[in-house]
Structure 1
């Protein structure tokens, strides 16, 4: 993994610790920003998701103004790869609670 922002400003530097997503409803906490396979990703979590112990993964791209924009990750394999990288970051490799 390399720089979490993929060469553009981080989500936190632009939005703070939380972001409201159009069409998704509610505010999401920015849990992590990471780079996997040369692409930048964000792991977000709403209050409801936190209660359930789940997260959502988004691809981070640079918008026309250079600021980060989020894209839904549609591919299950890509989503799983990023979720596993996030777990590794949280739990230190293969160790799971």
Structure 2
């Protein structure tokens, strides 16, 4: 399964290092990934950072080609993206 950096719409290219979600606060963009033909973003708020938590969103493009975020509802899909993110951070199977 492809775990490369996304070639789709770039959140960092549009928003920089942080993004403000409607009603959800400000999140740091930790990573943008492409997995199974879909683009994803791994985000983290300051509150989530304290607990070591992340949030995973699917990145799509609207009619204007601008990136939009969709909540990942499927647990298996969410876990696959979280594992791919961990692999990028910790070099594959070498996790602390």
Give TM-score scaled by structure 1 length: 0.92
Structure 1 outlier segments of 4+, above 3 Å: none
Give the CA RMSD over aligned residues: 1.0
Q: Aligned residue pairs: how many?
A: 94
Report the equivalent of 1:45. Answer: 44
Q: Which runs of 5+ in 2 are unaligned?
A: none
Q: SS in structure 1 opposite 2:23? A: coil
Provide the secondary structure at the position in 1 that maps to 2:81: helix
* Matches of 1:94 and 1:52, distance apart in 2: 22
> Retained in 1: the 8 A contact 2:18–2:26?
yes
Deviations 1:15-65 (A, max 9, x none): 0100000132x1000000000001000000000001110100000000111
**Alignment match, 2:83:** 84
